[in-house]
Structure formats: C-alpha cells, structure tokens
C-alpha cells in the first residue's frame, strides 16, 4: 500500500506546484499591471497640470505685457490728441479773426464770435473743451482745466500756479505741454497751450490721464471678450470685489488674491492669480481637469478590460499546462507503479 501511494504523489505534487505557481504568477502580473495603470494615470495627470500651469502663466504674462504697452502709450496718444485739438481750435479762431478783421468789424464783436465758436468746439465728432486766457491771467473762455473764475489764484496739488506756467510757456516757446495734478483729486493732468497770435490770448486744452486709462481699460475688456479661449480654460478680470469679465461662471473668493496658484476644494480645476497694480486688476486664468480625469478613467477601464482578457487567457493556459502536467505525471506514475509490481513479482 505504501508503495502504491508513493508513485501517485508524482502526479499530485507537480500538479499542485503548477497550480500554486500559476496562481502567484497571475496574481503578481495583475497587481503589477494595475499599479502600472494607476501610476500612468497619475503621471499623465501631473504632466497635464504642469503643462497647463506653464501655459497659463505665459498667457497671463503676455496679457500684462500687452496692458503695460497700451498704458505706456496713453500719454503719447493723449498729447497727440491735445495737440490736434488745440491746433484745430486755433485754425477756427484764426479764420474768424482774419475774415472779420478784413471787414473792419469791431474787436469786441470778433472776440465774441471766437468765444462762441470755441464754446461749442467739436473734436472727432464729440463736443470737447477749449479754454482761452490772456497774458494777464484772465479767463476769457472757461474750458477743461480750471473751474474758478479768478484763475490766477489757482494752485494745483503741488502748490504750483499753473496759469503762470502756461503764460511763461507760450511767451517763451509759443506752445508746450504742462503736467500737473488737480488740486482736489490729485489726479494727473496734461495741459497743452498755444499762443493764439492776436489779442495777447492763448488757447489750450487738458485731459485727465486717469480718464484716458479708464477708457483704455474698457477697450481692453472689449478686446478680451472677443478673444478665443482654449477649450477647458477660463479667464476672469476682477477689480476689487467686482468681476469685470469672466469667460465662464468662475467666481474668485475674496480671500484668495495672492499672486499664486490655487486648487479648488473639489479638485476639479486650478487657477492662477496675478495682480496688475496699474489697473488695479486681478487677472485670473485657470483650467479644469474634470474632463481629463474622466478621460483617464475611461482609459483605465479599458486597460482593466484588456487586463481581464489577458488574465483569462493566462488562466486557460495554466489550465492547459496543468492538464498536460497531470497527464504526463499520471502516465509516469502508472509506468512507475507497473515497474514496481514487476520487481515485486520477481
């Protein structure tokens, strides 16, 4: 009996070894494959986030460069407008003067006609302001920059007598620009004055730089609205607690206004904040990752299905190997058992 059991262990032991080895190999392959899928999913997400962050920072950087360039040109454009405006007003006044002086009309009448014409001055299709003063610092026509009647008493925010500076400018150079700060608001103002050429009058006009910048900001916001936004990205412009523009429903939390990256509580998107002091704007640019996460989940599920097919195949191969092993060692055991009987009979 003992001799019969020993040969049949030649069948059970190898078969058991094949089964155990197959189980551990299949389990090890499945574990490693799933770990690889998860790591690849994580790596893909991190690479995407890293790339999108870089692109967002570059995008915001380019926007700020554009804003700074536009802002730097404000005073140039403003001075050009003042120059054109005052020169046009001078031509109007000169035409009235020359036309009526040839007819030998009274000086008082000519002065009134000039004042009436410039009081309704229009520049680029819009009513605008032109002022007239004389070299004795008397207001002839109230215009854009001085509101008090006795203009000689006016001092700007830096306690400068702007009227005296205007008179010195036109007497010495015939025309020129003066930069000042308004007495009450301290807002920067640019004034252009020019000698009229008769009656010891000079004319001029002024503009508040802030007003021009506000107009520029409106233009830039309109430009941003027309700019295409990359799919999955969003852009917001916030001033204080007011959202001036947003490409989606994103809302900036009041306590998050540092120049850095943020991740929302649901981890579905990232956003970058950069403060542009010149406009008092918070520029917010970000991207959502929910769609990518869904895409990666689909890829993971597809990989899982492929893995399951591979595991099924491996199980079938293991079963075949186990069957072949069983048959081989069964025949070997039978042969061994027969050999043992032959030896016993002898």
Q: How far apart are CA 115 and CA 134, in angstroms?
A: 13
Reported confidence tier of residue 93, pLDDT bands at 50, 70, 90: very high
Closest CA to 272 of 263, 285, 282: 285
CATH top-level class of 75-208 = alpha beta
The residue that leads in pLDDT, 332 or 122, is 122
Q: % helix / strand / coil in the chain, to the nearest 5?
A: 60, 20, 25
The answer on pLDDT for 66 being more than 50 is yes
Q: What percentage of residues in the chain have a pLDDT greater than 70?
A: 71
Could you report the per-residue pLDDT of 41-57, keeping only the tens digit for each? Answer: 777 777 888 888 898 89
- Per the DSSP assignment, residues forming a β-bridge with 274 are 283
The residue that leads in pLDDT, 37 or 151, is 151
Quick one: pLDDT at residue 174? 94
Q: How far apart are CA 180 and CA 141, in angstroms?
A: 20
How many other β-carbons are positioned within 10 Å of the β-carbon of residue 145? 25
What's the Cα-to-Cα distance from 4 to each of 158, 218, 327, 332, rounded to whole Å?
118, 99, 18, 13
| Tokens 């994580």 -> residue | 42
* Tokens at 120, concatenated: 């309704």
Domain ranges of the chain: 6-72+228-332, 75-208
């Amino acid at each position: 009996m003992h001799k019969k059991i020993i040969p049949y262990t030649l069948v059970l032991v190898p078969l058991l070894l094949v089964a155990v080895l197959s189980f551990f190999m299949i389990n090890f392959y499945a574990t490693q494959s799933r770990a690889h899928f998860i790591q690849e999913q994580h790596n893909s997400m991190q690479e995407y986030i890293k790339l999108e962050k870089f692109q967002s920072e570059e995008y915001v950087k380019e926007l700020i460069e554009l804003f700074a360039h536009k802002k730097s040109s404000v005073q140039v454009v403003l001075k050009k407008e003042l120059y054109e405006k005052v020169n046009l007003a001078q031509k109007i006044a000169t035409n009235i003067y020359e036309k009526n002086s040839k007819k030998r009309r009274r000086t008082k009448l000519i002065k009134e006609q000039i004042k009436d014409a410039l009081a309704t001055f229009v520049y680029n299709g819009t009513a605008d302001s032109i002022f007239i003063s004389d070299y004795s610092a008397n207001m002839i026509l109230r215009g854009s920059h001085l509101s008090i009647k006795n203009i000689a008493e006016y001092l700007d925010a830096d306690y400068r007598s702007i009227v005296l500076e205007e008179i010195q400018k036109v007497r010495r150079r015939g025309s020129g620009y003066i930069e000042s700060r308004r007495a009450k608001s301290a807002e920067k103002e640019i004034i252009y004055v020019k000698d009229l050429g008769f009656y010891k009058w000079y004319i001029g006009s002024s503009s508040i730089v802030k007003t021009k910048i506000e107009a520029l900001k409106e233009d830039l916001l309109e430009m941003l609205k027309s700019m295409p936004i990359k799919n999955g990205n969003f852009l917001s412009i916030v001033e204080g607690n007011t959202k001036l523009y947003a490409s989606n429903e994103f809302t900036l939390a009041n306590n998050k206004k540092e120049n850095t990256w943020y991740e929302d509580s649901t981890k579905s998107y990232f956003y970058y904040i950069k403060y542009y002091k010149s406009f008092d704007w918070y520029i917010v640019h970000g991207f959502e990752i929910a769609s990518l996460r869904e895409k990666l989940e689909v890829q993971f599920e597809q990989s899982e299905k492929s893995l399951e097919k591979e595991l099924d195949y491996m199980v079938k191969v293991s079963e075949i190997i186990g069957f072949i092993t069983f048959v081989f060692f069964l025949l070997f055991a039978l042969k061994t058992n027969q050999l043992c009987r032959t030896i016993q009979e002898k």
